[in-house]
Amino acid sequence: MKKYIFIAYLFLIGINAFAQNPEFSGRPYLWQDKKLTDLERVDAQFDTKAKGLGYGGVDTYYTVFTGKSDIRFSKEKLPIFVVKVDKGIDPAEVYSVLKAKVKKNKRSFLIGSYAMGGKAKDTGKEKIKITYKKLKDGIYEISLPSDIAAGEYSFVPNSTEGMSAGNKMKITCFGID
């Protein structure tokens, strides 16, 4: 009988291990000390940059007009993030984690690159390979790779809705030292 009580107790602990729900769907949170905390949310401007007067193609970015995130983590103690998505949605389809190019006190996150004729170029090397672990229906833990380089990073929406020159959108940023 004690064995069954113990198993039931472990089951209940597992259910309640992550009892806190993120407030907003599609918005990453930091999971630290058994509570959810907001990350840096900034306005990023959709921007394009022509290469070689346009003959080299065009790169598209989300640009943040500060050089460094206030939210910092150590490579030795990487953060765990949590995101809530609508039922039936794969969290990998909602966000990508991108490393910024920092120049002149601006963080630029490359989201697309196109050749002169409009043909898309591979921008996969800019994306960080993250892993997802289901905590409960619609709520996922996000882990960064252990070999992630120091730098500035952001969760960037995969949606192309509202993407046109000069438009702004909120992105979630952090830094690794």
Q: Measure Cα distances from 171 to 44, 63, 69 in Å.
A: 6, 10, 12
Question: Has residue 166 been placed in a domain?
Answer: yes
Percentage of the chain beyond pLDDT 90 is 51
DSSP state of 77: B
Tokens encoding 64:
């943040």
Rounded to 5°, the CA angle 50-53-56 comes to 65
Question: Has residue 117 been placed in a domain?
Answer: yes
Question: Has residue 4 been placed in a domain?
Answer: no
Question: Has residue 12 been placed in a domain?
Answer: no
Q: What domain range includes position 117?
A: 21-176
Evaluate if residue 8 carries a pLDDT over 70: no
Of residues 88 and 7, more confidently modeled: 88
Question: Has residue 2 been placed in a domain?
Answer: no
Question: Has residue 129 been placed in a domain?
Answer: yes
- Residues 6 or more apart whose Cβ sits within 8 Å of residue 87: 137, 138
Evaluate if residue 177 carries a pLDDT over 60: yes
Residue 121, Ramachandran bin (φ over 0: left; ψ between -120 and 50: alpha; else beta) = beta
Question: Has residue 16 been placed in a domain?
Answer: no
Predicted confidence at residue 6, as pLDDT, reads: 41
Name 139's bridge partners.
Answer: 84, 136
For 83-92, give one letter per residue: b (16+ CB within 10 A) or e.
bbbeeeeebe
Overall average pLDDT of the 149-156 stretch: 95
Q: Rounded distance, CA 59 to CA 47, Å?
A: 8
Predicted confidence at residue 123, as pLDDT, reads: 65
- Residues 6 or more apart whose Cβ sits within 8 Å of residue 133: 140, 141, 143
Q: Rounded distance, CA 10 to CA 16, Å?
A: 10
Residue 112: pLDDT band with limits 50, 70, 90: confident
CB atoms within 10 A of CB 1: 5
Number of domains in the chain: 1
CB 148 within 8 A of CB 78: yes
Question: Has residue 7 been placed in a domain?
Answer: no
Helix locations, the chain, DSSP H: 2-16
Predicted confidence at residue 162, as pLDDT, reads: 54
Least confident of 10-19, 70-79, 112-121: 10-19
